């Protein structure tokens, strides 16, 4: 498999209700994951050299849903389905991170 242009990782971690760390699942990550999957399909991004993977915990559960875009390692938090098109249009297509969604520096360097 060739190296992808960009690789998007979307947290889909779930934890039991009341867990002290919370989870992206409690914050709607399934809808965010589905929005990425739908956009990748409708824009044919896999054929264009992009990769999409759902993952377990990425760290800042209390700020989820969390998404990381590699190879830059840009972490986004609080990502909603409505944000997915912006991440694709700006970060994946033009290498411009979406400032309003970036994780705070104390969460992700």
Q: Which residues pair with 54 in a beta bridge?
A: 10
Model confidence pLDDT, tens digit, residues 9-48: 999 998 888 888 888 888 899 999 999 999 999 999 999 9
| Distance in angstroms (rounded) separating the CA atoms of residues 35 and 1 | 25
C-alpha pair distances (Å), 59 with each of 5, 62, 73: 24, 9, 13
106 found inside a domain: no
107 found inside a domain: no
Domains in the chain, number: 1
- What domain range is 62 assigned to? 7-101
User: In this model, does residue 109 exceed pLDDT 60?
Assistant: no
1 found inside a domain: no
Segment (H or E) for 74: strand 74-76
Model confidence pLDDT, tens digit, residues 54-82: 999 898 888 989 999 999 999 999 999 99
Q: The domain that contains 19 carries what CATH number?
A: 3.40.30.10
């Amino acid at each position: 498999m060739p190296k992808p242009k960009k690789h998007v990782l979307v947290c889909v971690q779930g934890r039991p209700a009341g867990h002290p760390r919370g989870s992206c699942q409690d914050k709607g990550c399934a809808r965010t994951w589905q929005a990425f999957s739908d956009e990748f399909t409708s824009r044919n991004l896999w054929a264009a050299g992009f990769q999409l993977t759902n993952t377990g915990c990425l760290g800042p559960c209390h700020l989820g849903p969390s998404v990381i875009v590699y190879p830059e390692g840009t972490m986004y938090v609080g990502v909603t389905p409505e944000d997915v098109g912006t991440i694709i249009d700006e970060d994946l297509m033009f290498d411009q991170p979406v400032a309003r969604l970036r994780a705070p520096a104390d969460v992700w360097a």
